[in-house]
Amino acid sequence: MRIKYILLFAVLVSLVIQSNAQYKRRGETLQTRGKKPGKSKKADYTIEQFKGKWQEFERRNRSDSSVVSFNDSIQLKFSDSSKVMTKTSIATSMTLVGDAEIGDNNLLTVAADEYTVKSLTTDKMVLDDDEKFIHILKKLDTFWYETLGRIPVKQLDYSTPISTSVNNILGKWFVYRRYAKPGATTDNVLLIKYLNLTAKSNETTAIGDITFYQGQSSQQLSCTATIKGSEIKIVAGSNKWTLSVYQADANNFVFGNADLLYFSKPSKGE
């Protein structure tokens, strides 16, 4: 009987040690949590530098740096107490709150996930998940979902296009949200992610480049964008979009049609 209790105690101790040594990244297999193998280097940052709200606006493959389409934008909120809230932009996302730590080799722990910090400025953070992707986040004053219920209804009414000029659409824009009716974003639809209009070729046309994707395939091509009243016509190689403009100012560029609306904001890029 004594031997039986000793064996039971040993099993319980083993389980406790194992649970403290492992964690599960969302959607991935169990991995060991802690320092990376190899030579350690002291962190270049302190956890206080991460304070605030961050949202992913770009994702790239680690293997070739190609842009990847995604709809599960990472959201991180670091507090004064070295805690962090993590979630993604998809409706079924679960909000997690846990410790935030920055360790050797710039290994950032955020609740149940770990990343290597590739770079950090006051408004931009680049994270490597050490598996598949590089995640590029921007610092925000407010997450979009936090404005729900506080925005006047008239600002949400994008039923009537507005006339604008080419000067109002110049800039580097990234699409942070789309509103689509059911069936509007099938696999054969070319979805716009970035629209960088850097110069005017004449009084109605701007030139630059556009990044768009179809299914899992992403492309970046040179483009022209021509404004005629409330209509914008974008041409990139053999690809064409004829869309309406619903808002165009220094902070917001909303365009699309009755089935699919693009909400974009200025991007500082890399």
User: CB–CB of 114/107 below 8 Å?
Assistant: yes
The CA-based angle 164-170-173, given to 5 degrees, is 105
What is the helix (H) or strand (E) element at residue 85, kind and residue range? strand 83-88
In terms of Cα–Cα distance, which of 108, 112, 78 is closest to 93?
A: 112
- pLDDT grade, residue 268 (50/70/90)? low
CA neighbor of 193 nearest in space, from 180, 209, 212, 208 = 212
Of 16 and 40, the structure prediction assigns the larger pLDDT to 40
| 234 CB burial (10 A radius; 0-12, 13-18, 19+) | buried
C-alpha torsion sign, points 74, 120, 29, 79: negative
Instruction: For 169-188, write each residue's pLDDT tens digit.
Output: 999 999 988 888 877 777 67
* Strand-pair category, 113-120 with 124-128: antiparallel
Residue 143 pLDDT exceeds 60: yes
Interacting residues of 23 by C-beta distance below 8 A, sequence separation 6+ = 30, 31, 33, 112
- Residue position matching structure tokens 């179809």: 214
**Between the CA of residue 71 and those of 90, 177, 262, what are the distances in Å?**
7, 9, 14
Question: What does each C-alpha distance from 228 to 41, 232, 244 come to in angstroms?
Answer: 56, 6, 10
Let me know: does 96 contact 85? Beta carbons within 8 Å: yes
Over residues 148-167, the pLDDT tens digits come to 555 443 444 677 899 999 99
Whether this model's pTM surpasses 0.75: no
User: Which residue segments constitute the domains of the chain, with CATH numbers given?
Assistant: 40-144 (2.40.128.280), 153-266 (2.40.128.20)
pLDDT tens-digit profile of 198-220?
Answer: 999 999 999 999 999 887 788 99
- Is residue 30 scored above 70 in pLDDT? no
